[in-house]
Amino acid sequence: MEELAFTMQLKPGAAAEYRRRHDEIWPELTAALRAAGIRDYSIFLDEASGRLFAVQKRLPALPVMQRWWAHMAELMDTHPDHAPVVQPLTRVFHAD
């Protein structure tokens, strides 16, 4: 399974709300992620810059994911379809 790593950018002052929304992630979205085989998905925040760093196995193009993006769009930089603006990262090292 392909692993993806990328960064996203929060809007100024949105970190607490972003964290709160993820603390209350929709059960439907959690179920959809699991159904797609995603069991290891982490998002990290650089508090100083508002930059998010995410690592996931893959992201499904499901309606619930698109609704979640719309729900989060006011908090972060997004494309017109509400998908987060991401900057893919290239792995330079990995160890198990």
Q: Contact, 33 vs 42, CB < 8 A? A: no
Assess whether 22 carries a catalytic annotation: yes
Classify strands 42-46 and 4-9 as parallel, antiparallel or unpaired: unpaired
- Residue spans of alpha helices (H) in 1-96: 15-23, 27-35, 63-72
Active-site annotation holder among 22, 71, 79, 82: 22
Among all residues, which ones are annotated catalytic? 22
